[in-house]
Structure 1
Amino acid sequence: MSIEDLYDDAARERLVVEPPKRVDAPVRLAFERDRARVVHAAASRRLAAKTQVVGPQTDDFVRNRLTHSLEVAQVARDLARALGTHPDIAETAALAHDLGHPPFGHNGERALAELSADCGGFEGNAQTLRLLTRLESKTFTADGRSAGLNLTRATLDACTKYPWSRAEAAGPEGVHADGTPRVVVKFGVYDDDRPVFDWLRTGVAGRRRCVEAQVMDLADDVAYSVHDVEDGIVAGRLDLTRLDRDALWETVRSWYLPGADDASLDEALADLRAVGSWPRTPYDGSRRSLAAIKNLTSDLVGRFCGSVQAATFAATGGVALVRHSADLVVPAQTEVEIGVLKGIAALYVMQADDRVSLMERQRQLVAELVEALWEQGANGLDPVFGDDWAQADDDASRRRVVVDQVASLTDASAVARHRALVG
């Protein structure tokens, strides 16, 4: 039985029934079409000018949201194929996972969450669902409403990292880079997008994520835990041969692993340092040093994915990993090792004094831009959002339109729009 045969008609169903394609067009399966639609989406192109960790304009080497998404997609596809789940679905979810991120990355997300508290909040994953099912232009319902890219149920489910609403979300934990408590809660659907969410979750009870979404989420964790460290090394912000243990463990616990004790963190770092490609000398910018870092990233990605593959096979006993039939198993040691790498990037890159002051200015810019657009109304919005403003029937809905507009901007276009409206 092929992987395609494991997905039923409900998994391939689209919210809006589409006519058959031309008989002379290349034959593509439903999930292949989903992938193509995400690749060609305008929101995907905008990721190239959105911050991953540091701004995309700061250096030719550092990753932006698009290059990060491509790397996540590669990890997700390879892991899905190894596990026996559908590689196209996992890859599409990975390509789409950051589409909802606003300018300035998580820092912009924090600003918009505070500014939209009275109209349903803001969360990058909920915004991704909104883009895929409403804001991107591809398909319309019979009554004239946008259905976004009109992806299949299985693909939309795989794109849903947090399958619950804001009201159902747990409170935020940890701190931001400036040491203040986190304000962004994790959820996957705004209240006014609930109908399409309920449709894509047909037959699924509770909060359980499909296995393809779990693959996407792990691939994201693996990619940014490894690659953010790589970017920090090349940018001269950190040296893996000289780590401040006490400060690092404080950061790991406050950001990612609040319950981790020193012994488990020490063990994880020792195991990472035992990887043959872990650097023994500081990075010097030479071609050999660059090659050494690349070998380290490859070894770490392989290490993490290999451990998950082995643990999952051992736990599932050969059950087909399709939608809600099984769960991914991530060993505790692997979680801690990934958390340690994330903590290294957080301590030496995200918490750096120059970046913290820049982030404060970015949040101020986003706040001023939202208020300026609110005052301008439809006249200050792009035509598509101007139409949404005209159709909104209350202030909360109009506020959401302004938030959608700002979230769609790149770092550079947010600065340019702010300069034009605020000065």
Structure 2
Amino acid sequence: MRIQLSIVSFTFLIMGWACQPKEMDERVYTGDLLIDANEQLTQVIVHDIFSPPVASRIYAYPSIAAYEVAAMADPSLQSLAGQLNGFEEKTYDVPEDVFYPLAALTAYYQVATALVFSEDQLENHQKELLKSFRSALSTKAYSNSIDLGKEVAAHVLDYSKGDNYHQSRSFEKYGLTGIEGTWQPTPPAYMEGIEPHWNKIRPFFLDSAAQFKSTPPTAYSKDPESQFYKEAYEVFNVHQTMTDEQKDIAFFWDCNPYKMNIKGHVMFAEKKITPGGHWMGIAGIAAKKAQLDWKGTAEAMAYTAITLMDGFIACWDEKYRSVLVRPETFINQHIDEDWVPLLQTPPFPEYTSGHSVISTAAANTLTHLFGEPFEFVDSTEVAYGLPTRTFPSFRAAAEEAAISRLYGGIHYRPAITEGTKKGQKVGDHLLVKVKTRQENLAEKR
């Protein structure tokens, strides 16, 4: 990434330095506090058990709010207002005595708190965070910064209310068709299909949920000579011959936010990070390695988050169009009634693979921001009892995430290959439609 310092931006920075506190934790100027905020949000999302599509929405709006403040602080950054679907531009009366890092964090926490159930967890963390700012800033600068953050948050929350999410909470549940080859709830909990109307949520930069419609899945057939049967048998066969490395890959990318366990007569849930949460974690890891300041970190988080949300919208559009049966159901009925996949089958139709779509899209975005190769150590899953994994690039991580679904026994191969294609198209479209850098605006026009 290049940052060109013009006379205007130099003057702007001089004005900003005039109100900088004399003593402040260095982490305020790096992206660490925003990364911490994202990690706190992840913990709340895990605690509240939000589904992967809903979680992507919860990550997106706070990240947009923090980035909008960064765009005010850095003239080389372009506001997302006027670029994202339905996000109107707003003029803010910004006082000279304002500390932008505090305003950005305030905006992030204000929006995040409004989107979760366990608001107290985020509120308590924010209160602790504010103590260091209160002691280092003048009363005026502190108050102005909080007020600006809240004003930006209010604008973003107003924007969020128009995405059809709240209306979709009252839409009818998915009704099973009873047609052979269509999706059925799977053991052990036999949960109903989640978010069957997610394609009705307003995307950020896609023209519509169906903009990059996938080719139809392989025609269903239980004939052992058919292509579909062979694809199902591949899933079954991989499970029989799996290496320890393949198992490790499957578990590392499981990202099932609500895994049900049965012990005797007791059923209990194991909560874990969502796929989107994993990639938001990777964005934070990359920002730290690249030693981005808080503005660059806000850019990376927002760009990644909107990619993830539109990726889920595009993926879910296909899932409930094709409503394809999962390997577990087919294999139990036609190959081996006792077969159990390595990973627990998630409660929604098979085609296409969500991991393949959103991982490829996110990797495309992060590669645009950080370049390639960009080696990183992915420690996102350490908090959930798994070791780190090292990747030479974001694309390599996305490829592993995609194939992990075959190893886990929850996807046929076409869902992975076609999901990867869709994710690439979503990621490419983001780079055409949404620009964060002023020097790229000529391309957009």
TM-score scaled by length of structure 1 = 0.30
Structure index of larger Rg: 2
Which is bigger in relative contact order (C-alpha 8 A, separation at least 6)? 2
